[in-house]
Amino acid sequence: MKGFISGLPKVELHLHLEGTLEPELMFTLAERNNVILPYSSIESLKAAYQFHDLQAFLDIYYQGALVLQTEQDFYDLTYAYLKRCKEEHIIHTEVFFDPQIHTQTGTPFDTVTGGVTRALKDGEANLGITSGLIMCFLRDLSEDEAIETLKQAILYKDDIVAVGLDSSESGNPPEKFERVFAMARNTGFKTVAHAGEEGSADYIWGAINALKVDRIDHGVRCSDDPKLVDYLVEHQLPLTVCPLSNVQLNVFDDIAHHNIVDLLKQGVLVTINSDDPAYFGGYLNENYLAVAEAFDLTKQEVARFSENAIKASFLSDEKKQLLQ
């Protein structure tokens, strides 16, 4: 099974670039940029990676992301992930970035987006990996700040395929961003949103009805509402599920209690993704393997996840057909 999964051509749809910041690169960039980290060694940093919930993780994730400051830093981060994709046989990836983490602390939007897009272009030219870039709004910040960020993204319309919504879910429902998402859709961006990770099934309905999203990120709490599961099946609205992330953040007690295989069997268009692999201890192949082993899946069942990801991607229908 391990060999089958690593050889399987895969598509990743839920990956935060800042969540691929490995401890080694974090220390290198901290030194390069004269940032003082509150950890004396890579080991003590890794020892802090014990998250009891989403907020505990986000606190560490935002702190780590502050070592990223120059265009070259964003290039190096992105290109390191793409090299990892090559090793993992990921042929196409749609990646998130959080420009507001960086603009809030004085790094210009152009520095961030410029470094990321230059690496994505080099990744396609040199490694043959195609990609899409998804700009996320931080949902714990205001609507005005999201609008300001969207205005900057419009100048990169050719490089950004979609906008998304991430960060602290509780108390920040999708409806808060209804107007920004309408503006984004009218400009021609696709839309996605994190919903139903820690938040209830109502947040998933909010992402569907208020934000009119093309995919739901996580969405695992849909199981609490049978009508919602029916809706997801009927409309084949994709969920980008992140199994190891969900276990690390205590969304599920362990992988054997995860609902992804249940959802697959009910006909939901579920996909497997790695979320923040540098923090959650596993890139895409390890997420596939954890699910395959816990549920004793056949190769055919495992391949379904990869077929679903091709379907759920923002690739053109022509390109999807070439991959299927």
Task: Give the footprint of ligand ES4 on this chain (CB under 6 A).
Answer: 16, 19, 54, 61, 166-167, 194, 197, 245, 275-276
Q: Which of residues 105-124 bind Zn ion (CB under 5 A)?
A: none
Cβ at position 200, least distance to ligand ES4 in Å: 15
Q: Which of residues 179-198 bind Zn ion (CB under 5 A)?
A: none
Q: Three-state SS for 167? A: coil
Q: Which residue is nearest to ligand ES4 (CB)?
A: 166
How do 162-166 and 190-195 pair as beta strands? parallel
Enter the tokens of residue 246. Answer: 């969900």
Q: Is 52 annotated as a binding residue?
A: no
Largest CA distance in the chain: 53
Q: 32 vs 62, which CB is nearer to ligand ES4?
A: 62
Residue 54 contacts which entry, Zn ion, ligand ES4, none (Cβ below 5-8 A, type-dependent): ligand ES4
Residue 13 near residue 240, CB atoms below 8 Å: yes
Q: Which of residues 246-285 bind Zn ion (CB under 5 A)?
A: 275
Q: Is 16 annotated as a binding residue?
A: yes
Cβ at position 116, least distance to Zn ion in Å: 17
Cβ at position 34, least distance to ligand ES4 in Å: 26
Q: What is the spatial distance between Cα 67 and Cα 25, in angstroms, rounded to a whole number?
A: 9
Residue 191 contacts which entry, Zn ion, ligand ES4, none (Cβ below 5-8 A, type-dependent): none
Selected catalytic residue, list 94, 197, 198, 286: 197
Q: 93 vs 167, which CB is nearer to ligand ES4?
A: 167
Residue 238 near residue 215, CB atoms below 8 Å: yes
Q: What is the spatial distance between Cα 69 and Cα 209, in angstroms, rounded to a whole number?
A: 37
Q: 80 vs 323, which CB is nearer to ligand ES4?
A: 80
DSSP letter for 124, please: I
Q: Is 102 annotated as a binding residue?
A: no
Neighbours of 47 (CB within 10 A): 10
Residue 76 contacts which entry, Zn ion, ligand ES4, none (Cβ below 5-8 A, type-dependent): none
Q: 51 vs 302, which CB is nearer to ligand ES4?
A: 51
Burial zone of 186 (CB within 10 Å; 0-12 exposed, 13-18 middle, 19+ buried): exposed
| Radius of gyration of the chain from its Cα atoms, rounded to whole angstroms | 18
Q: Dihedral (C-alpha) 72, 73, 76, 82: value to the nearest 10 degrees?
A: -120
Q: How far is CA 37 from the centre of its chain?
A: 25
Q: Which candidate, 226, 227, 288, 236, places its Cα nearest to that of 258? A: 288
Quick check: is 197 catalytic? yes
Q: 19 vs 196, which CB is nearer to ligand ES4?
A: 19
Binding residues for Zn(2+): 14, 16, 194, 275
Which amino acids are annotated catalytic? Answer: 197
Binding residues for substrate: 276
Interacting residues with Zn ion (CB under 5 A) = 275
